[in-house]
Amino acid sequence: MSAQVQLFGGVVFSPNVPNPENVRRLDHGALPMIAAMHRHGIRLDIPYIQALNVRIVDLQRGYESEARSWLGRYQYRHAKHGYIPFNIGSRDHLAQLFFEELRIQGDGVELKRTPTGKREEVSAEILEPYRDRHPAVGPVIEWHSCEKLRNTYTSVLPGLVDSESRLHTKFNVTVASTGRLSSSNPNLQNIPIRTKLGKEIRGAFVCSPGRVLVSADMAQIEMVWAAHRSQDPVMLSVFRNRQDIHTRTTCEVFGLDYEKCADLTRRYEAKQTNEEESAAYLYFKQFQRLPCKTVGFGVLYGQTAEGLQKSLASEGIHWTLEQCEKFITQDFFAVYGGLRVMLEDDYSFARRYGMVVDYFGRVRLVPEAKSNLKWINNEGTRKAGNHPEQSSAQGGLKLSMAELQPICERMDVWPLLQIHDQLISDCPVGLAQEFADVKTWVMEHSVPLSVPTRASNDIGERWMDL
């Protein structure tokens, strides 16, 4: 049995064993800040988001007329109602148009069916490779991407604000089985960031007059927890030396020198590399670091060779199933042998007991892991493999929230959002730097682990700038 651990507030407990008292204390400790987040709400710049909405509508008009200009008098053949007008928003219509009428897939190509097998899949991911096969494909993809941003964000959020233009999301504390918070009405944990246009939506979330937004987020927190729980020597060394874990993985796998790679990366990003060095860097980044990063990201989710192949394909790297299989089992886990042992231990614990436990003692039931049907069993072990890291990471942030709330009250800081590894607050301008430093310090020191946990902070007037 492992030794006892003392937490920030003087609480002592034994890690990794079921401990409902500890979980209750953790969950309840975060409630005052959650309540404050609900009360304050985040301010929305209404004219800004309305202008963005108009821009998106205009873009969509362009995409739709462009698409239709290539489709002649095409109409959808409905099983009951005969020919009806083509609806660019209907997946059924798109499937019939592209794969039955235009046959953009060519001959002898196996198309992927939806899970229920009703029709062919027409997601952006599926359609993407067919951009060159018909001029309507591109505009349709773009139209749908705009449709998502408009329907979910730019046209909806302005209608949900209070008299002071503030949005009060609801943080649900009993929904996620890992103990994470979830956010609804509206969900402010899924505001776009990945695409250029999507990220502009974050520009609509602003500080209050005379104040600024302060954000702090944990670096690679689930990997840090994996390092702590597994005691894998390479992982420990990565975080103790403040290295980038994906770059380190790459160096271990391909036999490169870490400092040279880190230096090359720094100089490339500062535009200080010559042509030859730039080419070397881009090769390193695309063909060596990217696969390592993808595996590193997927491994805690129980990613299979098929999953890796699909992820890499979306990045333009086409590997065979055998290559993916070998990369995970031999290359990656040759570096992180201790991580493999930890995951296998978690799997066998789940198979034996039908449950899994995080660092703080939060239990998740995974009865599927006791099944004799292989694919059901795999479902269970995947959940079991991910739970300790996700749940422990979440628990650590809840401790930070408990510690920070009294500080926020003393400094007149308004907590606004929690996004799993990140806290955003609204802070008086004069206190911003001091508060940002305190916030970061608390997040880094809430839980004593074998490796330092790193948090970084940002100060800005708009969420987009954080």
Cβ 305 to DNA, closest distance in Å? 7
Would the CA dihedral through 95, 100, 101, 104 be positive or negative? positive
Residue 318 CB contacts under 8 Å (≥ 6 apart), including other chains: 312
189 or 433: CB nearest DNA? 189
Greatest Cα pair distance, the chain, in angstroms, is 74
278 or 378: CB nearest DNA? 378
Cβ 307 to DNA, closest distance in Å? 2
4 or 116: CB nearest DNA? 116
116 or 163: CB nearest DNA? 116
CA distance 38 to 143: 34
CA distance 193 to 200: 8
60 and 143 in contact (C-beta within 8 Å)?
A: yes
Burial of 4 (0-12, 13-18, 19+ CB in 10 A): exposed
Cβ 17 to DNA, closest distance in Å? 21
Cβ 324 to DNA, closest distance in Å? 10
Helices in 128-274 by DSSP H: which ranges?
Answer: 137-149, 196-200, 221-230, 233-240, 245-254, 258-269
435 and 413 in contact (C-beta within 8 Å)?
A: yes
195 or 272: CB nearest DNA? 195
75 or 371: CB nearest DNA? 371
Residue 67 CB contacts under 8 Å (≥ 6 apart), including other chains: 88, 136, 139, 140, 143
122 or 261: CB nearest DNA? 122
**Cα dist from 441 to 214, 217, 245, 347, whole Å:** 14, 11, 22, 34
267 or 370: CB nearest DNA? 370
Task: Please name the helix (run of DSSP H) or strand (run of DSSP E) that holds residue 217, with its range, or none.
Answer: strand 211-218
8 and 399 in contact (C-beta within 8 Å)?
A: yes
Cβ 174 to DNA, closest distance in Å? 10
Cβ 277 to DNA, closest distance in Å? 31
**Distance between first and last Cα of the chain:** 43
Residue 160 CB contacts under 8 Å (≥ 6 apart), including other chains: 167, 185, 186
Cβ 437 to DNA, closest distance in Å? 21
183 or 273: CB nearest DNA? 183
Q: Omega of the bond prior to 186 within 30 degrees of 0, cis?
A: yes
CA distance 398 to 418: 10
176 or 256: CB nearest DNA? 176
Cβ 393 to DNA, closest distance in Å? 9
Cβ 354 to DNA, closest distance in Å? 10
Cβ 456 to DNA, closest distance in Å? 13
Would the CA dihedral through 349, 355, 360, 361 be positive or negative? negative
